[in-house]
Every structure is written in structure tokens, then in C-alpha cells.
């Protein structure tokens, strides 16, 4: 039992960077923009978070810096795609190249250093409850922030007026514009939020999960986060399901190996992508349901006629 709790604890924490990056990208895509530069923004967040945390001695400052770095990178993407109307797919790929390079350059003096990881919160009494205590009430604050963000985004998109506008912009930017909403401003705001989330996701890797800096340490997680958004069919709650499917499969197979179960890890790691395609097909083949989920204007350029 104790072992099961430990394993589950590991599974809860492992996909947190994916949750951050994916929930941010979800908001971006809901506004009708496809930013493929997630990997670049995550790695910038990772080095910003690590370097500032190390130099200032404050993890909070590090996380804030990571959010800022991600948002700035997303801002560049926003100016190019929203103001200068460059193609989103190409610009996102360029952002990844740029981000990986800049992060490596920035991090040159930080290789081989290490910070103390974020302390876990032990919620008084609650964390002592057997089983549920360690599973639910004994993580670091960013875990709770990640879950709160998912809930917050779900509430924002479905219950607030601003969320409605954001969705309207993603559904039909011409109509939204005609009603008088500022499409570009809405999308910029979504992009900045998405960039900040990706930055924090990267910083979670470099300051909490493995508190050090090495080049390419995000190792493709930005791309997985993109898959998770699709898997989630653009619903915030399902981002958690997706993140735990992708991240959880990895941890579970590591444990399975430890128990001596022979499994082919390579085939297993294809599974989440295939499941994602299946989910996409299921939600897409019914046109009525697809309009509930997929933003109709995804990756389409918007030019304000006025």
C-alpha cells in the first residue's frame, strides 16, 4: 500500500510541466492561434527560472522570471503573427529554434550549478491522513498552482464574459471583429498568458524536478504538450487527463520495469499519440460536436478590414 502511494505520488508530480504548458497553449488555441513554439518558450522558462533562482536565491523570483521570459518570447511570436501577419506554423517553428539557441547561450555560465528544490507544503493535519494525505496534501506549491490554473481556465472560458469573447474570437474572428471586439488584442493577451504558462512549465523542470541547468533539458516536452491540447479536445479538464496519460505512461512503465515486467517501452511510448489521433477522429466526425470544441479559426490569419 505504501508503495502504491509512493508510485502515485510520483505519477502526480511527473506531468506538471506538461500541465502548465498545455493549459497555456489551450487558451492560445481557443483564441484561434496555433503557437508551435512551445518547446522554445519552455526552455527559455527553464533557464530564466534557474538562473534567477540561483542568483537571487529566491525560487519565487525564479518562477516569475520564467513566466516573464515565456511571455516575452510569446510576445515576439504575437507581433510577428498578429501584427505583421506572418504564418503561424512557420513562426512557431522559428521560435523554437530561437528559444533553444538563446537558452543555451544564456545558460553557459550556469552549467554544473544546482539550487535547492522547492519545499513541499505540508498542509496541517491533512497531510497526515493515511494515503489521501501524502497523495493530496503534500506537494510543492506549483503542483497546486497547476491544478488551480486548470480550474481557473475552465471557469474563465465557460463562465466569464472575457472567456466568451476569447472563444468568439477563436470561432469566427470576422464576426467577432464586426461586433467590435479587438481580435488582435485578445489574441495577444492569450499568447502572453500561454507563454507565461510554458515558461513556468519549463522552470518546474529546472528548479523543482531536477534543479539544475543543462542544454536541451526540456527534451521535447513542448511537443508533447501540443499533443495534449489536441487530446484534450480543447477542454481544460481533459488537459489533466491527457497530461497524466502522456506523463503517467512514462512513469508507469519505469515502475513496471523495476518490478521486472517485460514490456517494450518503445512501442508503449507510441500509444499516447495514437490515442490522441483516435480522440481527434471521435470528436471530429460529428460536425455538431466539433463546433463545441475545436476552435474554427485555429491557425487562420486574421486581417482587420475596418
Tell which positions 84-113 bind other proteins, by CB under 8 A: 84-87, 89-91, 93-95, 97-105, 107-108, 111-113
Q: Which of 119, 124, 125, 267 binds other proteins (CB under 8 A)?
A: 267
Q: Which three cell numbers stand for residue 282?
A: 471521435
CB of 156: closest distance to other proteins in angstroms?
A: 23
Cβ closest to other proteins, residue 161 vs residue 260: 260
Site string for other proteins, 133-152 (x = CB under 8 A): --------------------
Q: Residue 291 interacts with other proteins (CB under 8 A)?
A: no
Contact 45, 67 (CB under 8 A): yes
Q: Which of 56, 114, 158, 160 binds other proteins (CB under 8 A)?
A: 114
* Options 52-60, 132-140, 184-192, 217-225: segment touching other proteins (CB under 8 A): 217-225
* Options 55-63, 130-138, 182-190, 259-267: segment touching other proteins (CB under 8 A): 259-267
Contacts of 149 (CB under 8 A, 6+ apart): 19, 20, 23, 197
Q: Which of 33, 54, 205, 245 binds other proteins (CB under 8 A)?
A: 205
Q: Residue 119 interacts with other proteins (CB under 8 A)?
A: no
Q: Which of 1, 119, 180, 260 binds other proteins (CB under 8 A)?
A: 260
Could you identify the residue written with the cell 475552465?
154
Cβ closest to other proteins, residue 38 vs residue 68: 38
**CA–CA distance, 33 with 25 (Å, rounded to integer):** 9
Site string for other proteins, 37-66 (x = CB under 8 A): ------------------------------
Contact 23, 82 (CB under 8 A): no
Amino acid at each position: 500500500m505504501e508503495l502504491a502511494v509512493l508510485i502515485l505520488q510520483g505519477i502526480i508530480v511527473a506531468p506538471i510541466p506538461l500541465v502548465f504548458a498545455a493549459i497555456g497553449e489551450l487558451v492560445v488555441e481557443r483564441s484561434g492561434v496555433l503557437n508551435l513554439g512551445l518547446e522554445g518558450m519552455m526552455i527559455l522558462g527553464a533557464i530564466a527560472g534557474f538562473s534567477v533562482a540561483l542568483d537571487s536565491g529566491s525560487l519565487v523570483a525564479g518562477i516569475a522570471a520564467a513566466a516573464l521570459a515565456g511571455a516575452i518570447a510569446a510576445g515576439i511570436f504575437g507581433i510577428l503573427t498578429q501584427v505583421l501577419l506572418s504564418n503561424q506554423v512557420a513562426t512557431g517553428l522559428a521560435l523554437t529554434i530561437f528559444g533553444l539557441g538563446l537558452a543555451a547561450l544564456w545558460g553557459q555560465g550556469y552549467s554544473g550549478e544546482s539550487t535547492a528544490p522547492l519545499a513541499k507544503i505540508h498542509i496541517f493535519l491533512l497531510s497526515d491522513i493515511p494515503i489521501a494525505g501524502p497523495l493530496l496534501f503534500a506537494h510543492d506549491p506549483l503542483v497546486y498552482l497547476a491544478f488551480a490554473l486548470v480550474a481557473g481556465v475552465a471557469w474563465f472560458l465557460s463562465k466569464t464574459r472575457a472567456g466568451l469573447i476569447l472563444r468568439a474570437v477563436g470561432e469566427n474572428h470576422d464576426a467577432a471583429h464586426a461586433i467590435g471586439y479587438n481580435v488582435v488584442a485578445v489574441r495577444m493577451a492569450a499568447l502572453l498568458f500561454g507563454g507565461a504558462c510554458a515558461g513556468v512549465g519549463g522552470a518546474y523542470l529546472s528548479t523543482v524536478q531536477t534543479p539544475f541547468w543543462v542544454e536541451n533539458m526540456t527534451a521535447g516536452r513542448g511537443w508533447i504538450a501540443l499533443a495534449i491540447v489536441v487530446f484534450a479536445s480543447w477542454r481544460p479538464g481533459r488537459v489533466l487527463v491527457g497530461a497524466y496519460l502522456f506523463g503517467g505512461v512514462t512513469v508507469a512503465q519505469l515502475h513496471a520495469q523495476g518490478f521486472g515486467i517485460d514490456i517494450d517501452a518503445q512501442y508503449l511510448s507510441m500509444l499516447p499519440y495514437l490515442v490522441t489521433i483516435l480522440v481527434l477522429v471521435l470528436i471530429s466526425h460529428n460536425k455538431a460536436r466539433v463546433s463545441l470544441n475545436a476552435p474554427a479559426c485555429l491557425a487562420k490569419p486574421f486581417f482587420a478590414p475596418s
